[in-house]
Structure formats: C-alpha cells, structure tokens
C-alpha cells in the first residue's frame, strides 16, 4: 500500500486557520505565501463575512461560499464539497456558491496534507472534514441566534438557511445571524473531532442529485478556464517543441524570419533546471496568432540526445529483456512460494500482455499564465497538483516556492495530465525574459507530442492450476516507465517486499487484487529506457489500466483451461479469506449485480456474439470502489469488433450525488472503451508520431454503445467513482471477444487484425 493513502481515517479540519500537515506527502514541499508580508491581507475575504472554517464563508447576504481545495476537472468536486458542507450546515442549496482555492497550505487535503487531486480520492478523503466544518458552522450560527433571540440554543432548529424557535415562532436567517455579529463560537481540533455528525437516515442533502453549481456557467461560455485568463499588459507565448520527446538540447535559434512577424517580441530558449522540459523555445508576441506565426518562423537546430533513435519497438524489446532477467525489479507482492507451487501444478499457463503509449489529450490544451508582481510570482492555470506545480514554477523562476501564488481555474479536462507543471516553465521564463505577464498556450501538436503519457507496458503472467482447476500460483511481472517516481517525492513511493528499495506502486497497483491465490508474486520492473524516452504520467486510474488488463484477461484464460465459466471462476476466487475479507465479498456482489443486469448466462446470443466479464477495484487496494463490467460484443469474420453494450456495476458505499456518479461511471466506461479499441500512440525516432485528433482518435459519438450503470449504495463509507470504470472495460471486451469468436487478444488497443489473427491460431 502506498504511504500517502495509509491514513484513511480523516483527521480534523482546520478551524484555527493554521495549517496542519496531517499527511506527510508534502514534506519538503511546504509552500506558503501566507508567510510573505502583505499578501495574506490582500487575498483575505471581507472581514464582515462569517468564516467558521477555512473551507467556507457566509456573507451578510446569506450566501455560503465553499472554497474547494481540489481541482475540478469535470467531476464536479467543488459542487460535491459544497453539498457535504450544506448537509451539516443546514443551508439552502440555492444559497451555496463555490470558489477554487489558491495554493495556500491551509487548503491542503486534510488526509493527504498537500493539494493534489487524483485517484478518485477527493470525496472519500474530504467527506469527514467537510461534514465537521459544516456542523461547526451550524452550531456557531445556532449559538449566535440563541443569543440574539434570547432563547435556549437547544430549542433551535436549523433548516434551509434559517434558524427557528418553534415555541416563540422567532426565526433568523443565516444572513441575519451573520449581520448580528453574534456567531463567534470557535472550535479546537479536539472539539471538532467530538462533533456528532448526522447518521445517514438523517441526511436531506447527501444522496440527492442537486443541480451542479458549475453547470450553468458551462452552457453560456462564462466558466473561466486557464486558457481564458486575461491580465492587463499580457502578451502570448507559443512553444516550439523538439521532434524528440525528451533529452534534446537546443543548439541554435535563428530568429531572422520570426523578426519579420508583426508583433514578435522575443524568442526565449528555456533553461529548465527542474528538468521538466528539454529543448523548448518560446516565441513571444503581442497576440497568440502572431506568436504561433513567429514560432513557425523560428529555425531551431537540436542535438537530439540519447533517445533520438528510440521507438515503441525498442521500448518493448527492452521491456522483454528486463523481464527475462532473474534479478530485475522489486517485489510488490510475495505470498507463499510461487516457484514450488508452479512445480507441483497440474497445468501451467503463460501469457504476455501489452498496452500502447496513450495520450491524455484533454480538450483544453495545456496552458499557463505567469505574472511577476513585486516579489510574487502569480501563476494562473488549471492544475491538479498545486503543491508540486508551485514548486516547479518557483524552480523555473529561480525563486523560493513561498513566493509563488497559484490561482486555480476550472480545468478543461484533467485525467491526470494536469498533475504536471511543464506548462508553467515556458510561461514563467518568458514572463521573466520580456518583463510582462505571458500566457503560454500549447498547440494541440505540442500537447500531444509532449504529453506525460500512459507508458507502454509489458506484462508476463504465469499461472498454475491443480487437478481440480483451482488456481494455486500466479507470478506477474510488470515492466513500465515509472510515472510517479518521476515526481521526486519519496512519500509517493512504496517499500518493496524484498527490501530492494522503494518501488513505484503506481505501476503495479491492481495486481494486489482481492482473489485468494495462496502463492502470488508481483514484480515491479522499471523500464529505464522508456522512463527516459517517454516521461510518463498518471492517466485516469494509472496502473490498474494495465494491470487489470493482464489479470482479468488471464483469469479468463485460466478458467478456460480449467473448463469453468469465467464469472463463476471469479466468484470462487473471491472467497474473502484472510486479507481479502470484506473487499472480496463486495467485489463478488458487484460482479453478480452486473451479471444480473446484463443477463449474463441467461440471454441467448446469436453466433458471433458473446459476453465477457471483468471485475476490478480502484487506483489502490486501500481506496477501492468495487466495480464489475459485462461487455456484450459482436465479432465479424474480418475480426471487426462491435461493442453492443457495456453493463457496469459499482459499489460506492454512500452516494453523495447519484446522478453525478452515473455521469462519472459512464464517462469512465467510455474512456475504457476508447483505450481498448481506438487510442494508440507510437514512438518513432524518439518522438510521438500522433500529433492531433486525426492520428490519435478518442471515441466519438457514433462509436458509443449502449451503457447501463448500476450503482450499489450499501451504507458503507463514500468511495470514489471517477476511475475504476475505466479499467474494467478493456478486459471485459477482450473476454467477450474470446467468448464470441475463440480469439484471445492480449495487446491494447485491440485491432481487427489481431482478432482475426487469433481466430486462425
């Protein structure tokens, strides 16, 4: 388990306005402009507001503005935080507003101790803190109203932003109480912890699909994304990125033609000590159109560096070589004695699974605006990891991170891409060079070829079954670039079981599944060549996007070898023994729900059609949402696959917003389909070959199958929903293809050629 998610019991929220670094993830990265004289006052809210917590303020007009410390990239997390506060506060939903937090550490995640958004962690890790903050506000308002009305606080009821006293028929709105100035009660962390929260039967907001607060602004063009930031005196930067993804250096820049472009200001060759970028040049001009023209006119010559000859094939060959070495990598799981068990097995199966390089490609291309104002560097950008990105911006500027203020914007898609801070480097260095605020916008071509991509992966799985077909041993090697090690934050790495130093669990999570397998090894092997040539990132659920592709395909292969139904075989493996107790049963139930909804095993299908199942957990074992999928496909003799329907069931414990969960699960499932069939990037001569949406082709409307979603809310704690449905779809489709045609495919994305080839085999 990763260190940063160990403390799953949320700690207290911070009412004292001091920041508690509850987690340890931010160690060494503690940022805080709060320490800079003058700046705190400049950014503080109007003093007349009532601020019972750092997380929200109630203004004298009664509006409750929740400050969301999580990046909102379409998962409506800002609205969700407001909903959780609103439940305990007793406010009227129409009084709720949201605000996006700056990088002040007081807005750090109460569990993670940093500002980072990912992993489907946000609801799970903030539910308690937001609930307590809301309840504290309600108690303070109640006490204030009691004083103002001269009645006992214990006789007051709070509902719809009104505090009322039934006996005397007196009442005060939140606005009245705030204006009275009588709401003054404060809470120590211990008092906060002692607050008795509502029980689920008392909820009036949690579980209700209230209108998302951000949606109206996203239908009329008023929502402000990073790309929409306008600063007085601002100029624009277009980046010239090298043909090789990483490791190049600029030898020379010829500006003579660029100087002829009207509005051209300067070409800035980046000197990136953070090593986030290599060989980039920014063309700065008065408009973006002119900056692009100037960028195109620059003649840049490069030293291609050590990766200039590498291709997808070389990365895969290297992965296979590394996997073949006995001493490669470190163990993530080492249960029992796999070698001995394989020796006694009645049958041993071996299979190799691969996934291609994949690109995030959010619709809003990467961008950032940088402005130096006095000692302070202001960054405007939609970002998922303000804590680290602020430090990268500071590194690019050559200043202390405490002088960086990150202004959060709505994110035009994140999916993990905006955990990175590369876009800040050209903005900062260009702003410094020209002495003006600069907005840098990537072209789609920059965005695709310089993505921190989902890495190419190679996995080898070996399984042993006994005479009864029981799975007794599984050995699983995972070879990939290490996306999270790249961050350079030790607390995001995990110790290896064989004590060979920390490993990047974001490459193997998911392989520590909930099946009972007495002898089980997982080896995490870093593909150093891929790591250097294709600096990788976290793409929506990260490792489970490939580990479950291997595991869930292999389970079907094993079931077939054992002559068992693959769904029933899974159920027998989900027996809840030992460490799997609890999780395994929930996953089994979810699988059964999906099977029931899809008509698995009951629906008669025509020839050439089949259903396949898969079941998964989330980004980490410790943060699981239990998710299962039944894919129904038709396979043509040509190998062409048509996905007719995806049925997804997910156990989320408690639903905060049922409609949003369905939206997230459906979007995630379609991402899974897109990655399974339509998205593939390739490396050639060190560069990503696909440059726009003609070469890299995410799912379009015409390719969308029917999607059925069943949400299981059984009263357990709320878990995350943005990711698990991504990872369950590809293996379900692969397994359905096998059941429809007998073709076993082991490479993502699945192609008609591969299916046809496997049919013949």
Q: Which is nearer to other proteins, 230 or 340 (CB)?
A: 230
| Site stretch for other proteins (CB under 8 A), options 4-12, 241-249, 409-417, 513-521 | 409-417
Q: Are the CB atoms for 447 and 366 separated by under 8 Å?
A: yes
Q: Which is nearer to other proteins, 217 or 275 (CB)?
A: 217
Considering the complex, what minimum distance in angstroms separates the CB of residue 689 from other proteins? Answer: 16
* Positions in 636-665 near other proteins (CB under 8 A): 659-660, 663-664
| Site stretch for other proteins (CB under 8 A), options 15-23, 320-328, 408-416, 449-457 | 408-416
Both tokens assigned to 309: 């000859």
User: Binding other proteins by CB under 8 A: which of 667, 686, 720, 734?
Assistant: 667
Both tokens assigned to 581: 């107790």
Distance CA 663, CA 626 (A): 17
Is 704 a residue that touches other proteins (CB under 8 A)? yes
- How many residues lie near other proteins (CB under 8 A)? 61
**In degrees to the nearest 10, what's the CA dihedral of 737, 738, 743, 746?**
80
User: Binding other proteins by CB under 8 A: which of 92, 224, 644, 645?
Assistant: 224
Is 333 a residue that touches other proteins (CB under 8 A)? no
Is 443 a residue that touches other proteins (CB under 8 A)? yes
| Site stretch for other proteins (CB under 8 A), options 89-97, 241-249, 568-576, 693-701 | 693-701
Is 413 a residue that touches other proteins (CB under 8 A)? yes
Considering the complex, what minimum distance in angstroms separates the CB of residue 643 from other proteins? Answer: 13
Q: State how far Cα 441 lies from the chain centre.
A: 22
Distance CA 542, CA 574 (A): 24
Considering the complex, what minimum distance in angstroms separates the CB of residue 209 from other proteins? Answer: 8
User: Binding other proteins by CB under 8 A: which of 135, 140, 265, 441?
Assistant: 441
Is 689 a residue that touches other proteins (CB under 8 A)? no
| Site stretch for other proteins (CB under 8 A), options 357-365, 371-379, 502-510, 628-636 | 357-365
For CA atoms 104, 109, 114, 116, the dihedral sign is negative
Considering the complex, what minimum distance in angstroms separates the CB of residue 708 from other proteins? Answer: 11
Is 694 a residue that touches other proteins (CB under 8 A)? yes
Q: Are the CB atoms for 462 and 352 separated by under 8 Å?
A: no
Is 602 a residue that touches other proteins (CB under 8 A)? no
| Site stretch for other proteins (CB under 8 A), options 132-140, 464-472, 697-705, 753-761 | 697-705
Taking the CA atoms of the chain, what radius of gyration do you get in angstroms?
A: 27
Q: Are the CB atoms for 48 and 63 separated by under 8 Å?
A: no
How many residues are given for the chain? 761
Is 545 a residue that touches other proteins (CB under 8 A)? no
Query: Which letter does DSSP use for residue 580 in this model?
Result: G
User: Binding other proteins by CB under 8 A: which of 222, 256, 301, 602?
Assistant: 222
Provide the H-helix boundaries in 515-657.
528-533, 544-562, 566-573, 583-598
- Backbone dihedral region for residue 760 (phi beyond 0: left; psi -120 to 50: alpha; all else: beta): alpha
User: Binding other proteins by CB under 8 A: which of 21, 151, 195, 223?
Assistant: 223
| Site stretch for other proteins (CB under 8 A), options 84-92, 223-231, 340-348, 743-751 | 223-231
Q: Order of strands, edge to edge, in the sheet holding 376-381?
A: 264-269, 281-285, 235-240, 438-441, 367-373, 376-381, 404-408
Q: Which is nearer to other proteins, 221 or 374 (CB)?
A: 221
φ, ψ for residue 374 (rounded to 5)? 60, -130
Q: Which is nearer to other proteins, 56 or 442 (CB)?
A: 442
| Residue 227 neighbours by CB under 8 Å, 6+ apart | 364, 365, 367, 412, 439, 441
Considering the complex, what minimum distance in angstroms separates the CB of residue 691 from other proteins? Answer: 9
For CA atoms 455, 456, 462, 468, the dihedral sign is positive
Q: Are the CB atoms for 380 and 229 separated by under 8 Å?
A: yes
Is 693 a residue that touches other proteins (CB under 8 A)? yes
Distance CA 427, CA 734 (A): 43
Is 211 a residue that touches other proteins (CB under 8 A)? yes
| Site stretch for other proteins (CB under 8 A), options 40-48, 83-91, 207-215, 613-621 | 207-215
User: Binding other proteins by CB under 8 A: which of 2, 625, 674, 741?
Assistant: 674
Is 363 a residue that touches other proteins (CB under 8 A)? yes
Is 362 a residue that touches other proteins (CB under 8 A)? yes
| Residue 632 neighbours by CB under 8 Å, 6+ apart | 598, 605, 609, 610, 611, 643, 644, 645, 646, 647, 736
User: Binding other proteins by CB under 8 A: which of 97, 444, 645, 684?
Assistant: 444
| Site stretch for other proteins (CB under 8 A), options 15-23, 492-500, 587-595, 687-695 | 687-695
Residue with tokens 């156990």: 651
User: Binding other proteins by CB under 8 A: which of 46, 325, 701, 761?
Assistant: 701
| Site stretch for other proteins (CB under 8 A), options 350-358, 487-495, 526-534, 688-696 | 688-696
Q: Are the CB atoms for 246 and 529 separated by under 8 Å?
A: no
Considering the complex, what minimum distance in angstroms separates the CB of residue 650 from other proteins? Answer: 16
* Positions in 554-583 near other proteins (CB under 8 A): none
User: Binding other proteins by CB under 8 A: which of 364, 371, 512, 723?
Assistant: 364
Distance CA 289, CA 634 (A): 47
Both tokens assigned to 758: 């496997």
Q: Are the CB atoms for 639 and 756 separated by under 8 Å?
A: yes
For CA atoms 398, 402, 403, 408, the dihedral sign is positive
Distance CA 194, CA 479 (A): 47
Is 301 a residue that touches other proteins (CB under 8 A)? no
User: Binding other proteins by CB under 8 A: which of 9, 154, 219, 252?
Assistant: 219
Q: Beta partners for 522?
A: 333, 476
Which helix (H) or strand (E) segment is 64 a member of?
A: strand 64-68
Considering the complex, what minimum distance in angstroms separates the CB of residue 563 from other proteins? Answer: 38
Considering the complex, what minimum distance in angstroms separates the CB of residue 364 from other proteins? Answer: 5
| Closest by Cα among 612, 609, 651 to 630 | 612
Is 94 a residue that touches other proteins (CB under 8 A)? no
**What's the angle, vertex CA 248, arms to CA 242 and CA 253, rounded to 5?**
60
| Site stretch for other proteins (CB under 8 A), options 37-45, 268-276, 285-293, 710-718 | 285-293
List residues near other proteins by CB under 8 A.
Answer: 73-76, 209, 211-212, 214-225, 227-228, 230, 236, 262, 287-289, 361-365, 410-415, 441, 443-445, 659-660, 663-664, 666-667, 670-671, 674, 692-694, 698-702, 704, 707
């Amino acid at each position: 388990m990763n260190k940063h998610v160990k403390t799953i019991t949320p700690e207290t929220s911070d009412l004292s306005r001091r920041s508690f670094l509850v987690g340890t993830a931010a160690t060494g990265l503690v940022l805080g402009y709060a320490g800079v004289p003058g700046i705190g006052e400049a950014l503080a809210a109007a003093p007349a507001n009532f601020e019972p917590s750092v997380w929200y303020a109630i203004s004298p007009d009664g509006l409750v503005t929740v400050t969301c410390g999580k990046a909102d990239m379409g998962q409506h997390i800002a609205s969700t935080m407001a909903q959780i506060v609103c439940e305990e506060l007793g406010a009227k939903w129409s009084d709720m507003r949201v605000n996006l937090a700056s990088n002040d550490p007081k807005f750090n995640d109460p569990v993670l101790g940093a500002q980072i958004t990912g992993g489907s962690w946000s609801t799970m890790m903030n539910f308690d803190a937001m609930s307590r903050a809301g309840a504290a506000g309600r108690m303070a308002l109640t006490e204030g109203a009691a004083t103002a009305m001269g009645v006992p606080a214990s006789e007051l009821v709070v509902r719809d932003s009104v505090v009322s006293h039934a006996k005397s028929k007196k009442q005060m709105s939140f606005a009245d109480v705030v204006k009275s100035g009588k709401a003054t009660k404060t809470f120590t962390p211990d008092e906060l912890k002692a607050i008795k929260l509502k029980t689920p039967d008392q909820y009036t907001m949690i579980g209700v699909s209230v209108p998302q607060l951000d949606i109206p602004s996203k239908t009329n063009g008023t929502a402000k994304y990073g790309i929409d930031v306008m600063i007085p005196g601002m100029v624009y930067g277009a980046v010239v990125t090298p043909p090789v993804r990483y490791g190049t250096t600029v030898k020379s820049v010829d500006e003579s033609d660029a100087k002829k472009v009207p509005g051209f200001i300067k070409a800035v060759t980046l000197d990136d000590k953070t090593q986030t970028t290599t060989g980039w040049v920014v063309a700065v001009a008065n408009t973006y159109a002119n900056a692009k023209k100037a960028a195109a006119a620059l003649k840049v010559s490069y030293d291609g560096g050590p990766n200039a000859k590498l291709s997808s094939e070389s990365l895969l060959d290297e992965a296979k070589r590394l996997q073949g070495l006995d001493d490669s990598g470190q163990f993530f799981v080492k249960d029992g004695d796999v070698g001995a068990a394989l020796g006694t097995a009645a049958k041993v199966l071996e299979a190799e699974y691969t996934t291609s390089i994949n690109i995030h490609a959010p619709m809003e291309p990467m961008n950032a605006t940088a402005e130096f104002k006095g000692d302070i560097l202001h960054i405007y950008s939609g970002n998922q990891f303000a804590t680290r990105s602020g430090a990268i911006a500071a590194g690019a500027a050559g200043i202390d991170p405490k002088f960086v203020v990150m202004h959060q914007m709505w994110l035009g898609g994140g999916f993990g891409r905006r955990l990175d801070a590369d876009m800040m480097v050209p903005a900062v260095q260009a702003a410094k060079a020209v002495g003006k605020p600069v907005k840098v916008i990537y072209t789609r071509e920059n965005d695709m070829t310089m993505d921190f991509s989902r890495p190419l992966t190679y996995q080898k799985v070996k399984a042993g079954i006994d005479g009864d077909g029981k799975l007794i041993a599984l050995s699983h090697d995972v070879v990939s670039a290490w996306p999270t090690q790249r961050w350079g934050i030790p607390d995001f790495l995990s110790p290896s079981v064989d004590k060979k130093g920390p490993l990047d669990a974001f490459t193997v999570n998911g392989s520590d599944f909930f099946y009972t397998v007495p002898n089980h090894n997982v080896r995490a092997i870093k593909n150093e060549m891929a790591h250097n040539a294709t600096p990788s990132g976290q793409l929506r659920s990260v490792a489970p996007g490939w580990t479950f592709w291997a595991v869930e395909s292999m389970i079907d292969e094993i079931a077939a070898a054992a002559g068992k139904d693959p769904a029933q075989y899974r159920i027998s493996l989900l027996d809840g023994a030992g460490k799997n107790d609890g999780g395994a049963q929930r996953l089994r139930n979810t699988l059964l729900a999906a099977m029931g909804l899809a008509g698995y095993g009951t629906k008669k299908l025509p020839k050439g059609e089949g259903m396949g199942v898969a079941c998964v957990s989330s980004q980490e074992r410790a943060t699981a949402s239990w998710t299962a999928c039944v894919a129904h496909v038709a396979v043509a003799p040509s190998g062409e696959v048509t996905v007719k329907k995806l049925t997804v069931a997910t156990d989320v414990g408690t639903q905060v917003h049922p409609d949003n969960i369905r939206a997230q699960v459906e979007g995630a499932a379609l991402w899974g389909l897109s990655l399974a069939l339509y998205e593939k990037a390739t490396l050639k001569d060190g560069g990503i070959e696909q440059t726009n949406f003609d070469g890299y082709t995410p799912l379009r409307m015409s390719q969308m199958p029917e999607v059925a979603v069943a949400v299981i809310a059984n009263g357990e704690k709320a878990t995350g929903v943005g990711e698990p449905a991504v990872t369950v779809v590809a293996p379900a489709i692969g397994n359905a293809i096998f059941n429809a045609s007998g073709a076993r495919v082991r490479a993502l994305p699945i192609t008609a050629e591969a299916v046809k080839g496997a049919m013949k085999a």
